[in-house]
Structure 1
Amino acid sequence: MLERCRTAGARVVAIDGPSGSGKSTLADALLRAWPGPAPELVRLDDVYPGWNGLEPAGAAVAHELVARHARGAVGRWGRWDWAAERVASIERSRPGRVLIVEGCGAFAATAPVETLAVWVEASPRVRKRRALERDAGAFDPYWDLWERQWRRYVARTAPARRADVRVRVADD
């Protein structure tokens, strides 16, 4: 996949897929293996404005970060404080580096520009187990709410069809 990023000349890489599929793990591996100056990684988990925030985060990142990045301007995004339920800080992104946007809804967040689109998937059983274990119980009461948003996003945008690269995580 790294070779695909380099040969495509991607300035923006989007890593999308359902919760618990392995997007963050893949983004971390891509960042570690990237030759030359490291890309900037924006995790949508840091942007979603609460548990109902999948769509609003995508729209905000598309407009305030990705579109600006593509024009060579400084982009910005709000870092969400999950405990305080408010924006904690405004982060700035300087142009010139490759931008990786990772998270549920990343394809919508990067829609304004040419993107190398990476789709990550795993079985529903594996996804749910991994997501709930990862967050040590914090995600448990919100799984169904998040899953409904995810399904609406998939029904509305058919994101898997946009994928340039598909990664299927094997059952453990």
Structure 2
Amino acid sequence: MEERRKLFIRVGYSVILIASLHVCLCSKFNDNVEEFHMVQDKSFSNVTIYDMNVTCGNHRPGMFPSQTWTCNDIRVNGMRMAYGYYPGLGADTRCTESGGFDELRQLCHKLMESIASNRQLWGAQVSNASCDYTEENRVMLNLSKSGYYWKTMDPGYGWMETLQCVAFPKDDSFPFP
């Protein structure tokens, strides 16, 4: 029993020593890490894009490492936007009706243009979506040889709740490559 107690004490001291060493080393190396500021996102106003009315619901603010505009409860002429994956990616197979095709980047570009943002679009992201079935018709922005157009889809699986448009950082202080 005494041997067991000594073993536990040695293991305990070893764990404390390793943890202390970790803290010391991390604090030494973190001195060189630059801090960056988080920015609260903004909401979009309702706007007409390609002859359809894009509306956003109540804004729920969040913090991001670069300027971000958010459209919660996004609707196009009252319809939800379709959401889905490319078939075969191993994702929820119910959520492939759209084939993963959409032009969210162009939609973000047009939304940012509508608020006279001079920031360059870095990316469009769907931060809240569902693969559940909806009884509502859905819509998605597509591109053809003649330009962008809204495609109406029947009720089905996959719709998005929140679209976020992220701008490039203003300077080179952004911590990620």
TM-score bin, normalised by smaller chain: under 0.3
Q: TM-score normalised to the size of structure 2?
A: 0.25
Q: Name the structure where strand makes up a greater proportion of residues.
A: 2
TM-score of the superposed pair, with normalisation by structure 1: 0.25
Q: Which has the higher contact order (CA 8 A, sep 6+)?
A: 1
Computing the radius of gyration over CA atoms, which structure comes out larger, 1 or 2? 2
Q: Could you say which structure has the higher helix fraction?
A: 1
